Amino acid sequence: MDTNSIVLWLVLLLSIVLIAALVRRRATLRSRSNTQAGLKLSGSPVPDWPIPFGYKCAWYSIQSPDVGRLVQLIGLQEAQSATWREGIESAYGDLVFVSPAVGGWAFVVGASLAAMEPRSLTSQVRPVLEKLSSEFEIACFFATHRVVELHIWAKATKGKLERAYGYLGETGEIIWDEGMATVEEVGILSHIDEAAVMQIARGWSLAPIDLEGISSEPSLGFLGTL
């Protein structure tokens, strides 16, 4: 290969590298733009009533918290005031909604909270539960997704994980089993589905599908990213 051919190949290779870098840069900017667009909420959100949620989602429930303090503890970024409707709709995307307190409980909601390899969830959830329960006494985590049959519930009290159970029906694996089964789990472990998760949530804290039936006042939460 002569000198001119080598130069041409080097120029071509450099061009390919530059184009690839430009494509990656544009993808990054587009992703940031989409996230920012997701955070463009109504200028003056009007408080509304709780919106039920829960299926194909994940959430923490925390007993009687100071919601402002909760936002700080979980490290919510770009936090903005949001209505229940804005918050729950966005939580089924990439954002996280910290709800107002309802019936003595507040929720940290986001499908993204369980958007990881199921077996790695335990190492992600445990420290958060222990941290939140150290501050607010009781903290729970729930996740359910009927497509892969992922169903998880976990509870910590005063900084210590007491009970956790996770089942991945897609592979038939128990991915988390720690602590003694609670009274609320009696008769459930033989048939685990999204209804079982809601039943445990109802016994340990509040089932988010029941929110319409709980007495409350119109209020605002916070929407952001983690």
Average pLDDT over residues 98-105: 96
pTM above 0.85, yes or no: no
Q: How confident is the model at residue 157 (pLDDT cuts 50, 70, 90)?
A: very high
More confident residue, 196 or 6: 196
Q: In a 3-state reduction of DSSP, which class is residue 46?
A: coil
pLDDT band at 8, cuts 50/70/90?
A: low
| The pLDDT of residue 42 | 58
Residue 126 burial (CB count, 10 A): 17
Q: Strands 221-225 and 96-98, how do they pair?
A: antiparallel
Mean pLDDT on 184-197: 93
Residue 119 confidence (pLDDT)? 83
* pLDDT at 26 > cutoff 50: no
Per-residue pLDDT tens digits for 211-221? 998 988 999 99
pLDDT at 41 (0 to 100): 58
What's the pLDDT score for residue 34? 43
Please give the residue that has the higher pLDDT: either 10 or 32. 10
Mean pLDDT of 110-136: 94
Where residue 24 falls among pLDDT bands split at 50, 70, 90?
very low
Average the pLDDT over 138-151 and give the result: 96
Residue 5's pLDDT band (cuts 50, 70, 90) = low
Q: Would you kindly state where each structural domain of the chain is located, as residue ranges?
A: 57-225
Rounded mean pLDDT, 186-202: 94
Tell me the two tokens of residue 209. Answer: 């599908």
Sheet hosting strand 173-178, strand order edge to edge: 77-82, 221-225, 96-98, 105-109, 57-63, 138-145, 150-157, 160-168, 173-178
Torsion angle of the four alpha carbons 86, 89, 90, 94, in this order, in degrees rounded to the nearest 10 = 170
Structure tokens at 128: 């958060």
What average pLDDT score do residues 117-142 get? 95
Burial 186-198 (b: 16+ CB within 10 A, else e): eebeeebebebbb
Confidence of residue 138 (pLDDT cuts 50, 70, 90): very high
- pLDDT tens digits, residue range 32-89? 444 444 455 557 899 999 999 999 999 999 998 899 999 999 999 999 999 999 999 9
